Amino acid sequence: MEFQMEDIKILKDNKIIEDHEIPYSCKASDFNYNITEEDLDDILNYLIDPLKYRQMFVLFNYVHNIQRNKCLQMQDILKKYCEYLGKEKNLPDEIINKIWAKNCSYMISEILKKDFADFNSLNGMLKLGSVQRYEFANFLNDTKLSWETFTREMDNKLMEMIYIDIERASIEGDALMKSDF
């Protein structure tokens, strides 16, 4: 494994941070190494109790980014689904693009709400102070499971929404071109 626990101390600008400080301007992308879920499990096994704020923040961001990216990958599949249905109904590209933009906007809005809720949960965990490794591992597992559920629900809901919008567009035709949809 290329990633080492010492790497948690180094931000993208090679600035070393202490256990108690995370710079105000710090973003999640500053900690975004390309690590796998297996690497995360290994890292959790080597942590020493009690966990430090920095460790919790960085590990949470890894889990969050991995799960969020899985959800965003679903977007490509949904776009192809929208295009396929639109072509099946002989809809013009302009209408298909409007339908996709509407549904994509909804998805992004829901992801942002999920992000907000997750970071509030992390904030609540950090307010508890130092926690034991097993407690934080449970928190990370809950976060992962909530993303898996969210992704499945979004996939189902958006497939249904796209289908309904395509059907509506195939019935309403040109009137839809003039509307904001």
**Where does the chain show beta strands of DSSP type E?**
none
Q: What is the pLDDT of residue 87?
A: 97
Coil, helix or strand at residue 118 = helix
Burial (CB count within 10 angstroms: exposed 0-12, middle 13-18, buried 19+), residue 119: middle
More confident residue, 171 or 15: 171
Average pLDDT rounded to a whole number, residues 62-83: 93
Coil, helix or strand at residue 64 = helix
Question: Domain limits at 61?
Answer: 5-178
Widest pairwise Cα distance in the chain? 64
Kindly report the backbone phi and psi dihedral angles of residue 93, in degrees, each rounded to the nearest multiple of 5, phi listed first.
-55, -35
Residue 75 in tokens? 């977007």
Distance from C-alpha of 18 to C-alpha of 11, rounded to nearest angstrom: 11
More confident residue, 112 or 25: 112
Domain count, the chain: 1
Residue type at 81? Y
pTM: 0.77
Average pLDDT rounded to a whole number, residues 79-84: 97
More confident residue, 30 or 83: 83
Average pLDDT rounded to a whole number, residues 33-57: 82
Distance from C-alpha of 140 to C-alpha of 157, rounded to nearest angstrom: 25
